[in-house]
Amino acid sequence: MGTWVLPFSDSRYMSDVEGANGDDLIFVTSLLITGTLSNRPHMPPSDWDTEIIFEFIKDQLAPHPIPKKIREKCIPILHGFFTFLADQNLQPHAREIANDILPLQEMMITKESDEDVSDMEFFLVQSLLKAGVDISDEEAICDFLDENTEKLLQKFIESSDAEELKKLMGNTSASRKQIPKTQKKPDDISSIPKANREWFIAITEMTDTFCNERLDDEYAGICRHVAGKLARKRDNKITRGKREIWAAGIIYAVGQMNFLFDSSFEPYQSADDICQYFGTRKSTTSQKAKLIRDHIGMNDYWDPEYSTSHMQNNNPMSGLRMTRDGFII
């Protein structure tokens, strides 16, 4: 499932969903993964059909407490997702699913959830889950709100009246530890085959320069780590091909894992920005990034080995809980 979400997030199918961003994609696909598979633990995503997805939408997604502005995007995101899977021949029932779920958009928009939830409450729950806070731990919640009051207020006030949120946050007094920014330890050059050391040095000089100019030290560290893993693959033909393509492919692959191409995230660079910097074609760079991800097993979102501290702090899967009524929050 994760190997499908990653390329979908970087495709035109996702960008065609009006107003949707990385947060919306994470929310909907997280519910799809945990919701559908929780009832059918032995059924792989390749076996999903229209009946299963209909059941998920009607019994779990529609009743879920979701504000209207998010609710309106759920079916378009799922439609785009399964259309992508169909066009890429990744799921045998995807075309049928994509076509058949469109009529459910009206139900999603008009459906009233079983719980009365305000935009502010949903915003807070979403923020807590993304940060990996245990929502059953009142002290942890207060700690998170205390440390992030200013940032949460600024984000929430863009679309809503924040007075109620200010009151709620006014009583918090402790501070919460976030995952600190960490740099990967420099790869030991002695662990890299002699034949590949010159390649490794040249590639990391290019990725370091790009990250120092446009991203940050954390991205630079992850890119060096990826380059080191590639260089230690004795069967890897890394000496073949333009090094600019390898450098661009490494940054592209790391960027995909950390939503670098989503303008709502920081830091932000588009795929075109990377390709223009290195003078590479987007299709070639994208293919190289896929080769790199497949070669070293870099295909799971929020894998600590390839994730920035921001991504780890905003992992929605770490805080998911199921209520007694079967809702995943």
Per-residue confidence in pLDDT tens, the chain, 329 aa: 667 877 888 788 888 888 777 777 777 776 676 555 545 556 778 888 898 888 888 877 787 777 777 788 888 999 999 999 999 999 999 999 999 998 888 888 876 544 444 555 556 656 665 676 655 566 777 777 777 766 665 565 544 444 444 444 444 433 334 444 545 555 567 778 888 888 999 999 999 999 999 999 899 999 999 999 998 887 666 667 899 999 999 999 999 888 888 887 788 899 999 999 999 999 999 999 999 988 888 877 777 888 888 777 766 555 544 444 444 44
Whether residues 290 and 226 fall in one domain: yes
Q: Are residues 25 and 45 in the same domain?
A: yes
156 and 93 part of one domain: no
> Which two three-digit tokens encode residue 312?
């780890």
Q: Using alpha carbons, list the distances in angstroms from residue 21 to 15, 167, 303.
A: 8, 29, 21
Tokens matching residue 35: 């919701």
Do 104 and 134 have their domain in common?
A: no
98, 49 contact by CB (below 8 A)? no
Pair (196, 124) in one structural domain: no
pLDDT recorded at residue 322: 43
What does 247-278 look like in DSSP terms, one character per residue? HHHHHHHHHHHTTTT-TTSSS---HHHHHHHH
Predicted model pTM: 0.52
- Rounded to an integer, what distance in angstroms lies between the CA atom of residue 110 and that of residue 115? 14
> CATH number, domain at 235?
1.10.472
Q: Which residue has the tokens 């588009």?
A: 270
Domain that holds residue 165: 119-179
Note whether residue 328 is domain-resident.
Answer: no
pLDDT in the model for residue 213? 92
User: In 85-167, which ranges are E strands?
Assistant: none
* 140 and 200 assigned to the same domain: no
Rg value, the chain, Cα: 21
Domain boundary among 77, 110, 143: 110
222 plus 264 within the same structural domain: yes
Same domain, 141 and 243: no
156 and 245 in a single domain? The answer is no
Long-range contacts at 299-308 (CB < 8 A, ≥ 24 apart): 299/2, 299/3, 299/6, 300/2, 301/2, 301/5, 301/6, 301/26, 301/257, 303/257, 305/225, 306/222, 306/225, 306/226, 306/254, 306/257, 306/258, 307/257, 307/258, 308/181, 308/218, 308/219, 308/222, 308/258
* Residue 326, domain member (yes or no): no
Q: What is the pLDDT of residue 226?
A: 93
Per-residue confidence (pLDDT) for residue 87, from 0 to 100: 93
Quick one: pLDDT at residue 153?
59
Residue 70 maps to a domain: yes
| Residue 243 to residues 30, 105, 201, 205, 288, Cα–Cα distance (Å) | 36, 47, 11, 11, 11
Number of structural domains, the chain? 3
- Please check whether residue 317 lies inside any domain of the structure: no
289: exposed, middle or buried (C-beta count within 10 Å: 0-12, 13-18, 19+)?
A: buried
Sign of CA dihedral 46, 4, 226, 279: positive
Q: How far is CA 215 from CA 39, 146, 285, 307, in A?
A: 41, 28, 18, 14
Could you tell me if residue 203 is inside a domain? yes
Residue 208 has a pLDDT of 94
pLDDT of residue 37: 53
Distance of alpha carbon 182 from alpha carbon 217, whole angstroms: 9
- 51: Cβ–Cβ under 8 A, 6 or more apart, which residues? none
Between 119-130 and 138-157, two packed helices, what is the crossing angle to 10 degrees?
Answer: 120
CA end-to-end span of the chain: 20
Q: 303 with 194, same domain?
A: yes
Q: What is the pLDDT at residue 162?
A: 40
Look at residue 146 and tell me if it is in a domain: yes
